[in-house]
Amino acid sequence: MRILEESNIEDIALGAAVLGTGGGGDPYIGMLMARRAIRDYGPVELYSLDEFHDDDLIVPTAMMGAPTVMVEKMPNGDDIINAFRSIGKYIGKPIKATMSIEAGGLNSVVPIYVAARERLPMVDCDGMGRAFPELQMVTHTIYGISSTPFAMSDERGNTVLMETISNKWTETFARSVTVNMGAMSMIALYAATVSELKEASIQGTMTKAETIGRTIRAARQQDEDPVNTVRESVGGYLVFKGKISDVERRTEAGFAKGDAYIEGIDTYIGSQLQLSFQNEHLAARIDGEFRVTVPDLIVLLDVDTGEPVTTEAMRYGYRVAVIAIPCDQKWRGEKGLELVGPRFFGYDVDYVPVEQRFSNP
């Protein structure tokens, strides 16, 4: 167990932006919520799964909806607590802790708010190890854990509870209720016991996010090469360095999709990297050949500051380093690749783990 103070939150949020692989929502609002809750209710205890009893019940919490709405109609605060508590009421068992379902982006820090207000611990694990666009895309799905009972609440006091036959159906219904709630809802889902989570979740991801954030901050202060320090701290591979020469964007079925083209600099001169995205970065092709794809993490870093570059912020002239981070092993089996592999997102190519294609100097 260790204590999360206000001062830890900024690092977690910065690291979560890296793990967000270009998407996941801006952690700024979530960071403010978490910092304020810690100031008002006291610090949060972060535990590893081993420190709980196997039959303890854990319920993740998150925000769902359009990032543009989240920065305008901010939550009430009671809404996410309502969603969280209704799961406990429905199951009829006390909830022992909350956790993040998505370590990348905004939802890394939102559960810290819940933990502080409920004076409950937070677990150092999540269901993605990164960010993905839909709620069935979690390692829990691979291991047969249901997303329901699923609770979603709005600021008015409405709570919708649902039971579904699959996690994909939960996504479908939840997305339309979210629109009625004003394109944003607060959700509690994937209730599971500690023994289930030991198998199904990705462990240590809060600490990983915090370490990445701290590394970037320290590298900046010490004038080190932040890209290289980040790469080392995440066990990643340098894929490319270049300058964004074009970004094409389109909206399909509510998702922000597109491709960015990056012209090589330094030792990559003469090569071009094509980066395809759908909310998050999904695939990188160098000179026409797939080199990195989901579920491995593709991260764009500003070469000078090490700051992660989101899909929305990409534009001509940015000098970026493309880093690939191996995803958790859980994503690499048949079921994981069915959920979030390159074919699911429409790329007709087999997934090849990044470490088989790249090596570090």
Q: In 229-244, which positions are buried (b, 16+ CB within 10 angstroms) versus exposed (e)?
A: bbbebbebbbbbbbeb
d(CA 349, CA 116): 44
For the CB of residue 73, give the shortest distance to another protein in the complex, in Å. 5
Nearer to another protein, 50 or 223 (CB): 223
Under the binding rule (CB under 8 A), the answer on residue 66 touching another protein is yes
Angle at 271 (CA atoms; ends 265, 275), nearest 5 degrees: 90
177 binds another protein (CB under 8 A): no
Q: How far apart are CA 38 and CA 260, in angstroms?
A: 39
- For another protein, give the closer residue by CB, 37 or 62: 37
Q: Is the dihedral of CA 290, 258, 212, 192 positive or negative?
A: negative
Q: Which stretch binds another protein (CB under 8 A): 92-100, 229-237, 245-253, 292-300?
A: 245-253
Position among 41, 161, 173, 182 found at the interface with another protein (CB under 8 A): 182
Binding to another protein by CB under 8 A, coded x per residue (else -) over 204-243, reads: ---------------------------------------x
How many CB atoms sit inside 10 A of residue 309's CB? 23
CA dist., res. 169 & res. 3, Å (int): 37
Distance CA 108, CA 31 (A): 9
- Among 135, 157, 158, residue whose Cα is nearest residue 148: 135
With contacts defined by CB under 8 A, name the span among 6-14, 26-34, 100-108, 331-339 that binds another protein: 26-34
Radius of gyration from C-alpha coordinates of the chain: 19
Residue 205: CB minimum distance to another protein, A: 23
Q: Taking Cα atoms as reference points, which of 313, 316, 289 lies closest to residue 300? A: 313
Pick 31 or 57: Cβ nearer another protein:
31
- 56 vs 79 by CB, closer to another protein: 79
Token readout for 53 is: 């009893």
Q: Nearest approach, Cβ of 131 to another protein (angstroms)?
A: 12
Residue number, 40 or 348, with CB nearest to another protein: 40
Told to check if 349 binds another protein by CB under 8 A, we report no
Near another protein in 277-296, by CB under 8 A: 279
Q: For another protein, which stretch binds (CB under 8 A), given 75-83, 223-231, 286-294, 346-354?
A: 75-83
What's the rounded Cα separation, in Å, for the pair 130 and 139? 11
CB of residue 32 to another protein, shortest distance in Å: 6
Any idea what the Cα angle at residue 12 is, between residues 177 and 295, rounded to 5°? 65
Which member of 250, 334, 356, 359 binds another protein (CB under 8 A)?
Answer: 250
Q: In what order do the strands lie in the sheet with 2-4?
A: 2-4, 44-47, 122-123
Residue closer to another protein by CB (options 266, 338) is 266
251 touches another protein by CB under 8 A:
yes
Instruction: Give whichever of 35 and 291 is closer to another protein, judged by the CB atom.
Output: 35
Q: How far is the CB of 67 from another protein (least distance, A)?
A: 7
Count of residues touching another protein (by CB under 8 A): 42
Q: What angle do CA 351, 325, 199 make, to 5 degrees?
A: 75
Question: Which chain residues interact with another protein by CB under 8 A?
Answer: 29, 32-33, 36-37, 65-69, 71-78, 113, 155-157, 175, 179, 182-183, 243, 245, 249-251, 254-256, 279, 312-313, 315-319
